[in-house]
């Protein structure tokens, strides 16, 4: 068990550019979650997957945000036409997805995005 | 909609003193409740969780929390704080019914004085 990994750990981009973040969940975990965390706030849920199916995406912040998990393993979060307000920490978490007592989410270290 | 309130933005304690971090939630049904800790540059780590059953929950690192339905609270406690406990603590309430999507509070920053 190597834990949840996220790449890159840091990203600096210019406003208007597209960025993509990757998350590799714990290998046997079926569920994968994306969150955004801004300074002084708790994580804010964005979207989640059960295997390759995206079960909730209405809370993505705008249509500039999209996520994929094409083979039910790793996931990517893309932000198009970045804005300065997108600067934040983007967190990924995974869980077994097998039932109540299995629903502990394990978080990755996050990708910190700075939009100039 | 569910919500979580952590009324204390910062808490300062002396090493060896007891600790209580407050958490109040709003949710229409029996909630799933969590406490996470986040150290600088680290991801969130689960300290403990409540799904059902015994309302006093034991967690890792000597932490415990008590679910009080009448007060809509899930306060985190530790009898003796160590300097390494200095971190950000987040309470969260999870949706029931299958999605388990958590709503987090804004966090409480714990400062430990030697």
8 Å CB contact of B43 and A44: no
Q: Write out chain B in H/E/C secondary structure.
A: CCEEECCCCEEEEECCCCEEECCEEECCCCCEEEEEEECCCCCEEEEEEECCCCCEEECHHHCEEEEEHHHCEEEEEECCCCHHHCEEEEEEEECCCCCCCEEECCCEEEEEEC
Of A40, A105, A106, Cβ closest to residue B106: A40
Which band of pLDDT confidence, cut at 50, 70 and 90, is reported for residue B54?
Answer: confident
Contacts of B90 in chain A (CB under 8 A): 42-43
Q: Looking at the complex, report in whole angstroms how far the Cα of residue B14 sits from the nearest Cα belonging to chain A.
A: 23
Of B49, B100, B104, Cβ closest to residue A42: B104
The tens digit of pLDDT for each residue in A98-108 reads 665 657 889 99
**Parallel, antiparallel, or unpaired for β B108-113 and B10-14?**
parallel
* A29-33, B5-9, B26-30: range with lowest mean pLDDT: B26-30
Q: Looking at the complex, report in whole angstroms how far the Cα of residue B75 sits from the nearest Cα belonging to chain A.
A: 17
A9: Cβ contacts below 8 Å, ≥ 6 apart: A109, A110, A111, A112
Cα B105 to Cα A20, A42, A91, B68, B78, distances in angstroms: 27, 6, 16, 17, 19
Phi, psi of A102 (to 5 degrees): -95, -5
Residue A99: the pLDDT is 66
The tens digit of pLDDT for each residue in A22-51 reads 999 999 899 999 999 999 899 999 999 999
CA B79 to chain CA centroid, nearest Å: 15
In angstroms, the CA A61 to CA A90 distance is 12
Total beta-carbon pairs less than 8 A apart between chain A and chain B: 52
8 Å CB contact of A4 and B92: no
Which band of pLDDT confidence, cut at 50, 70 and 90, is reported for residue B59?
Answer: very high
């Amino acid at each position: 068990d190597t834990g949840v990994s996220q790449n890159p750990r840091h990203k600096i981009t210019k406003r208007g550019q597209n960025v993509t973040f990757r998350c590799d969940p714990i290998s046997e975990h079926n569920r994968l979650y994306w969150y955004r965390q801004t300074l002084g706030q708790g994580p804010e849920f964005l979207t989640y997957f059960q295997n390759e199916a995206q079960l909730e995406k209405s809370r993505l912040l705008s249509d500039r945000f999209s996520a994929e998990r094409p083979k039910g393993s790793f996931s990517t979060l893309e932000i198009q036409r970045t804005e300065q307000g997108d600067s934040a920490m983007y967190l990924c978490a995974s869980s077994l997805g097998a039932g109540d007592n299995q629903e502990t989410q394990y978080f990755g270290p996050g990708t910190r995005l700075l939009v100039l | 909609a569910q919500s979580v309130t952590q009324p204390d933005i910062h808490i300062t304690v002396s090493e060896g003193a007891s600790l209580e971090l407050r958490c109040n939630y709003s949710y229409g049904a029996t909630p799933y409740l969590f406490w996470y800790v986040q150290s600088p540059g680290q991801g969130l780590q689960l300290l403990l969780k409540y799904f059902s059953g015994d309302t006093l929950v034991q967690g890792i690192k000597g932490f415990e929390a008590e679910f009080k339905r009448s007060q809509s609270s899930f306060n985190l406690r530790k009898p003796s704080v160590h300097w390494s406990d200095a971190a950000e603590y987040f309470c969260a309430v999870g949706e029931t019914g299958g999605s388990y999507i958590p709503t987090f509070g804004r966090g409480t920053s714990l400062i430990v004085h030697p």
